[in-house]
Amino acid sequence: MIKEAVLHMPLSQYAYATSENAITIRLRTAKDDVTYVGTFYGDRVAYEEPIPVTEVSMEKCATDDLFDYYEANINTDLTRVCYYFKIFDGKDIYFYYSRGFTDNMTAHRTEYFQYPFIRREEVVNIPEWAYESVMYHIFPDSFANGNRTIDIKEKTSIETPDGISINRLGGTLRGIIENLDYIKGLGANLIYLNPIFAANSYHKYDTIDYFKIDPCFGTDDDFKELVCKVHENGMHIILDGVFNHCGPDFFAFKDVLKNGEDSKYCHWFYNLKFPIEYKDPPNYECFAYVKEMPKLNTSDPEVRDYICKVGRYWIEEFGIDGWRLDVANEVDHDTWRAFRKAVLSAKSDAFLIAEIWEDADVWLKGDQFHSAMNYTFTYLCRDFFAGNKISAAEFDQQMQKALIRYPRPVSNAQMNFLDSHDVPRFLSLCEGNRKKLSLAIFYLMMAPGIPSVFYGDECFIEGVTESKYRSPMAWDKSDNDFSNDISKWSSVRKRCDALKLGDYKGLYVDESGLYIFKRSYDGKNAYVVINNSDSQIDIKLYDICHLKGDFTNMITGEKIEGILTLEAYSGGVFE
């Protein structure tokens, strides 16, 4: 056995509580290196010595290019648990404790791994409605200003006492209201809006006033109506919160520009050098050196209180269901902890998503965010579906590696997406191949995590540069077979617990691009078959996966007898 590959970390994604009476334990080994892994657990404060222990066999839950991962779900009345591992490599038995390996069972509990106490606040606690969600992501300026239309006029500039707001294409909140039936028809039940607060630019990431709707988009009454109608339709809505930085007309920064070192808001910002020079390059900290976006000092108590006040306000006054938080990895951790408490005190099942482009583990410990934007998912889908840069085997390995980064309930709540307001359109990366886009969105609906469709994906919008991937909604192409397919896939996902909550296991891959995986939950399975090739395939599930019994196409309801046929760049899901 390769001992150097064995890994367990207490109180991490390798040991986490799913309730006050249940913990999940994981262990990593080298790939194909062992034949059995078990865990022994007991009461870490038991009176007996040695303490009584129970052995639980661990199942292989994931495999990547280098490692296998084993998992056991322990349901127990114990609140304080200690545990160790038994590993068999086909020849020798090893016992793995907190201080290393031995070939003899160790009696003393102090050498075991420890789960000191299953604290209520450490239990993975994600709003149940989040798992039921299919997201539709809207860039408000680009979407609509009427029923199935975005009537593009000349750029609007609106001057208010606080500053000047502009738009580019003319999308409004009223336009979203008038198209809620369209969004719902796609199967979406969660709307994510890019920033809608008063701001200078068309994208609204340079906030003027966090307590006002941008006049280019509409009024407070428009937004109240939107939220009300979203909820009437059984849907949820979350907003984009931009608290890492503000705009140049934000009241505190205007005061700093006016009064310099005498401003009472100097401590609200980072690394100010006086006199402030509002020019390129700026002599104050900004978002990505953009002078129009001065960076807020989010560790300052006054700034923290202000951000928390904003977080509560839009829930208490308008009833929103959560937040997507911009540039979350540059904001003070204690501020996010305070923000979470403030928001959940206003709505206990509010949902918080972080914009983090890398591994988000440190933000997903249960004290800051429920979820993060899953850029790893995006990159892997680009490489497999759009670029054919990796094989089905590599895709499976890397996807499983990504899933094992977090506790399963957290992985199943990640925001998965192919497109957003910040990245080139997936169809452009597919060089216009609509079948590739269709297959990627099919996979999006079948994979662990919350699927997010960016407005216009269903209408085949393309674009590599910012102005292009934020193009106006292609309403003239909105009534198409692809939209109907997305609706069907969304429906299958929402009624199948295995797809929403289940684990993920690769069953078969080959060099042609055939990929079969299984989603499992509570004894029920969904089998997903992907044909990522330019040729039709005919397969027998029994022959390649040793799956017995009759199968039903979960999309069409048809029974599968004998041979399954899949067209080029297509997929199917079966039970």
pLDDT digits (tens, 9 = 90+) for 214-243: 999 999 999 999 999 999 999 999 999 999
Tell me whether residue 25 is exposed, middle or buried, using C-beta atoms within 10 angstroms of its C-beta: 0 to 12, 13 to 18, 19 or more.
buried
Mean pLDDT score, 206-219: 98
Mean pLDDT score, 255-271: 96
3-state secondary structure of 250: coil
- Bond before 448 cis per omega within 30 degrees: no
Concatenate the DSSP letters of all residues of 463-512 into one string. -SSHHHHTPPP-GGG-SSHHHHHHHHHHHHHHH-HHHHH-EEEEEEE-TT
Give the pair of three-digit tokens for residue 315. Answer: 């829930």
Give the pair of three-digit tokens for residue 183. Answer: 């969004």
| Tens digit of each residue's pLDDT (9 = 90 or more) over 471-530 | 999 999 988 899 999 999 999 999 999 999 999 999 999 999 999 999 999 999 999 999
Averaged confidence pLDDT in the chain: 96
Mean pLDDT score, 189-201: 98
3-state secondary structure of 289: coil
Q: With 80 as the cut, is the pLDDT of residue 81 above it?
A: yes
More confident site: 61 or 541: 61
Concatenate the DSSP letters of all residues of 97-124 into one string. ETTEEESS----GGGSEEE----GGGS-
Q: With 80 as the cut, is the pLDDT of residue 173 above it?
A: yes
Domains of the chain: 3-122 (2.60.40.10), 245-297 (3.90.400.10), 500-574 (2.60.40.1180)
pLDDT at position 542 is: 76
H or E stretch covering 61:
strand 59-63
Mean pLDDT score, 247-272: 96
Q: How confident is the model at residue 1 (pLDDT cuts 50, 70, 90)?
A: very high
- Pick the range with the lowest mean pLDDT from 271-285, 484-498, 533-547: 533-547
In whole angstroms, what is the distance from residue 552 CA to residue 11 CA? 41
Tell me whether residue 320 is exposed, middle or buried, using C-beta atoms within 10 angstroms of its C-beta: 0 to 12, 13 to 18, 19 or more.
buried
The pTM score is 0.96
| Tens digit of each residue's pLDDT (9 = 90 or more) over 283-331 | 999 999 999 999 999 999 999 999 999 999 999 999 999 999 999 999 9
In whole angstroms, what is the distance from residue 191 CA to residue 52 CA? 51
Give the pair of three-digit tokens for residue 11. Answer: 């109180």
In whole angstroms, what is the distance from residue 168 CA to residue 470 CA? 10
pLDDT at position 551 is: 87
In whole angstroms, what is the distance from residue 40 CA to residue 54 CA? 5
CA angle 527, 530, 531 (to 5 degrees): 145
CA angle 265, 269, 270 (to 5 degrees): 145
In whole angstroms, what is the distance from residue 110 CA to residue 100 CA? 13
Q: With 90 as the cut, is the pLDDT of residue 358 above it?
A: yes
Q: With 90 as the cut, is the pLDDT of residue 412 above it?
A: yes
Q: What share of the chain is helix, strand, coil (3-state, %, to 5)?
A: 30, 30, 40
- What residues act catalytically? 326, 355
Give the pair of three-digit tokens for residue 566. Answer: 């899949």
Cα–Cα distances in angstroms (integers) from residue 191 to residues 323, 567, 572, in the given order:
11, 32, 26
In whole angstroms, what is the distance from residue 24 CA to residue 425 CA? 38
pLDDT at position 432 is: 98
pLDDT at position 540 is: 83
